[in-house]
Amino acid sequence: MPRPTIVIDFDDCTVMSSIPFMEWCQVKGFVPTGTIDDLVHHVFIATDHAIRRARYFQFLEERNNELQPLPGVVSAIAELAQHFSVHIGTARQISLRGHTETWVRRNLNGHVQEIHFAQGTGLEYLRDKTPLLQTLQARALVDDGEHHAQRAAEVGILSVMPIYPWNRKCAFTSPYLIRVSDRKQPFWHTILPLVTTVAYRNT
């Protein structure tokens, strides 16, 4: 019998990238200085999607090897991989495959079954990972993107959403959506038992 599948987002659920990217944009002079909320607005909301994507590619060209795993994620994925098929589902464009696969090989020790990329450039595709989750018959999703977490929860898939400045105002509620906001310890310390318990319960 195949092992149940868990899908994990890449940026800010596996690798800490958005905050370093925002800081990089500030250093480069692409956005004005300000609070974290100001940076979220200028980098992710007020900047054209194509421009932001080009800047992100440049950022990875310069900083990919410096990006660090989130605290606790390496041991958590290693533990999950003993019982589940662990996949990464990322809204990154396929043009970033090389950077992403290099980072995963270097940091996650072969515990990831497959990495799934956004193939197109359309925003509509990027706003919905549920086709991927349903194809894989995923039992759970870990994702900081509120749209992805909400859509998964709407179709009955457990969604664990770590809280960041860019998603903390999400108003959606569902018994399938669990917010993790405890910053006193690495959020993977909290996520691991949640994902494991519910994924097993749903098999």
Other Cβ atoms within 10 Å of 115 Cβ, number: 15
DSSP SS3 for 91: strand
> How much is the pTM?
0.89
Q: What is the pLDDT of residues 140-164, one digit of tens each?
A: 999 999 889 999 999 999 999 998 8
Q: Which pLDDT does position 122 carry in this prediction?
A: 47
Q: Are 177 and 159 in contact (CB under 8 A)?
A: yes
Nearest residue to 112 via CA among 10, 1, 199: 10
Q: Which pLDDT does position 121 carry in this prediction?
A: 45
Q: Which pLDDT does position 83 carry in this prediction?
A: 87
Domains and CATH numbers, the chain: 5-16+68-201 (3.40.50.1000), 18-66 (no CATH)
Residue 198 pLDDT grade (very low, low, confident, very high; cuts 50, 70, 90): low
Contacting residues for 178 by C-beta, under 8 A, at least 6 apart: 158, 159, 160, 161, 194
Q: What is the mean pLDDT of the chain?
A: 86
